[in-house]
Homo-oligomer: A and B are copies of this chain.
Amino acid sequence: MPFTPPVAEQRLVLDTIVGLPDLAASDRFAAADGDTVDAVLEGVGQFAAGEWAPLARIGDTVGAQWTADGVVMPDGYAAAYRAYVEGGWGTIGAPADWGGQGLPFALQTAVLETLGTANMGFALCPTLTIGAIEALQHHGSPEQQAAYLPHLSTGEWTGTMNLTEPQAGSDVGALRATATPRGDGTWSIKGTKIFISFGDHDMAPNIVHLVLARTPDAPVGTRGISLFLVPKYRLDADGRPGALNDVRVVSIEHKMGLHASPTCVLSFGDHDDCVGELIGPEHGGMRAMFTMMNNARLNVGLQGVQVAEGATQAAVAYALDRVQSARAGGADRSSVRIVEHPDVRRMLLRMKAQTQAARALVYYAAGQVDRAALGDAAAKARLEMVTPLAKAHATDLGNEVASLGIQVHGGMGYVEETGAAQFFRDARITPIYEGTNGIQAADLVGRKLGLDNGGAFAALIEDLRREAEAEDLVALVAACDAVGRRLATADADDRLAASYPFLTMLSVALCGVLLERESRALTGEGDFESMKRASIRFYLEQIVPEALGLRAAATAPATTLYALPAAAFAA
């Protein structure tokens, strides 16, 4: 699938939504000046289009393969990964103290968007490495940081997150993997983890597994979980990958999509010889995991942007090429490109609008990460509020857009050769992993509405109210305010019953405000500006009113849901 990096759009969003110029005014992010940002966006765009996009198809058709010697990536992936490391693309947001460039998280977001639009499954590998870096950066000992961060910061080694077990999915506290002291300060890890993305591969000389496990006599539930670092190869005296650790890939899943990403079942300690190191304090695993999980959630939201952008580009290209039927109602009966038909335009403009909405939402959240890193407490609260929105709504939009992308292609969209179907299949995991979107909605109404006694929510609403201009958008913000305040004091069932539609309403309100802000920043009259104006207008005219239609669902009590016994669902 040919791919054009959306550099003008990324730059606009970084400037107006992230406020990158403000960030660059700080000492910490001084390197993120306009020229650097342009160079990074152009550079990664060229790299991704040239090196990664051409591998998207083989990633799907051949995919990562499990063999007795571990996971083998499709032809070309190892070399393309090496090119990514050598190009320095892994270092963008990595800590400057450890070989990274220390650029803003929001700029790293743009880089990762481009890589993932070119090849979503492949880009999941760096995404996980970023999570491992963050966990070590915030919770690792100086020795652990020194041993691992230089290799992770460049992407030379890759990272994984090991939470899920067959009986412990959304309920992480139910996990059973164990860690027993070996007497030398290290731990012996034992257990089986499932759904481990890039749990094994042949692209890097080492893989750093971050593993949640229970120490002896640990309290039940999440309070008894600790985080361990388990390298695929133990480090030798010189800190280089040495002996193979006792971690084995038992199998990989046969998934509907994302075939370039091996989803592994990992078995730790089959021979009682899996050595791990404790990261942070014993029983502090959930806290450490949340550090990496929060930003990982934003990066999964970003996958929604990636797939939306890719699917949109493919559909636009098809619609600009495919000729079919004359324009209805016109005098000219010659066939036109389907982009000229109103309902095709509606689909395309919706795809453009929703892609831009998803991007604005995720970049907005990413910008709060950077502001929070500069000590801005309000930004930290905003980040907490909007993380579930960015994860859930952006991935929902990725799926909607990918589906529209198939529809624009007509019958050809259902045939695998066009690639439209791959976007659709790849996208479908994103509302599930890294906390299902239902879990995100529960987090929003269960924890985030109550933050600071409702102060964080009130502040977000105030932000929205201050900026919203369009009449329906003003009404939507007011509806979100009323619904949110009502849910904050509702009982648990009512709150959760309404959580998902409320999350969608609030997300659309925020996206609407951010898109209006982008619109105000447009000055030129070129194709880019006319496209932006039209798609933002579409968003305000159609998508914002749709969200108002969710108000009933967001205020419906749980009684309807419990008006039938569980068994009656099977009736």
Contacts and interface: CB of A to CB of B under 8 A. Distances in A.
Contacts of A437: 407
A515 interface: no
A432 interface: yes
B441 A414 contact: no
A121 to B, nearest CB: 13
A520 interface: no
B431 A407 contact: yes
A531 B569 contact: yes
A67 interface: no
Interface string A489-524: 001110011011100000000000000000000000
Contacts of A570: 4, 313, 316-317, 320, 527
Contacts of A352: 569
Nearest to A541: B556
Contacts of A170: 324-325, 410
A486 B556 CA distance: 32
A195 B415 CA distance: 10
Interface string A558-571: 10111111111111
Contacts of A530: 563-565, 568, 571
State how many copies of this chain the complex holds. Answer: 2
Contact of A406 (B325, B428, B527): B428
A428 B432 contact: no
Given A548-B549, A561-B346, A492 B432 contact: no
A544 to B, nearest CB: 8
A364 interface: no
A337 B194 CA distance: 21
A105 to B, nearest CB: 27
Interface in A318-356: 319-320, 323-325, 328-330, 335, 337, 339-349, 352
Interface stretch (A130-138, A253-261, A295-303): A253-261
Interface in A331-388: 335, 337, 339-349, 352
Q: Is the interface of A mostly helix, strand, loop or mixed?
A: helix
Given A171-B335, A437-B407, A571 B531 contact: yes
Contacts of A553: 541-542, 545-546
Interface in A403-444: 403, 406-407, 410-411, 413-417, 421, 424-425, 428-429, 431-433, 436-438, 441-442
Contacts of A85: none
A142 interface: no
B410 A169 contact: yes
A174 interface: yes
A499 B560 CA distance: 32
Interface stretch (A15-23, A106-114, A203-211, A532-540): A532-540
Contact of A571 (B403, B413, B528, B569): B528
A223 interface: no
A8 interface: yes
Contacts of A551: 545
A560 B534 contact: yes
A472 interface: yes
A542 B569 contact: no
Contacts of A531: 564, 568-569, 571
Contacts of A195: 411
Contacts of A167: 323
Nearest to A441: B343
A399 interface: yes
A568 B527 contact: yes
B537 A545 contact: no
Most B C-beta atoms less than 10 A away, residue of A415, A417, A567: A415
A534 B563 contact: yes
Contacts of A344: 438
A256 to B, nearest CB: 4
Contacts of A348: 569
Contacts of A216: none
A215 interface: no
Contacts of A500: 343, 346
B171 A564 contact: no
Nearest to A8: B571
A491 to B, nearest CB: 6
Contacts of A497: 342-343, 345-346
Contacts of A325: 170-171, 174
B564 A329 contact: no
Given A169-B324, A328-B446, A253 B432 contact: no
Contact of A438 (B253, B407, B411, B560): B407
Nearest to A256: B421
A267 B364 CA distance: 54
Contacts of A438: 341, 343-344, 347, 407
Contact of A499 (B313, B343, B414): B343
A436 to B, nearest CB: 6
Interface string A92-131: 0000000000000000000000000000000000000000
Given A530-B571, A549-B550, 5 more contacts: A174-B335, A253-B414, A320-B569, A329-B493, A421-B428
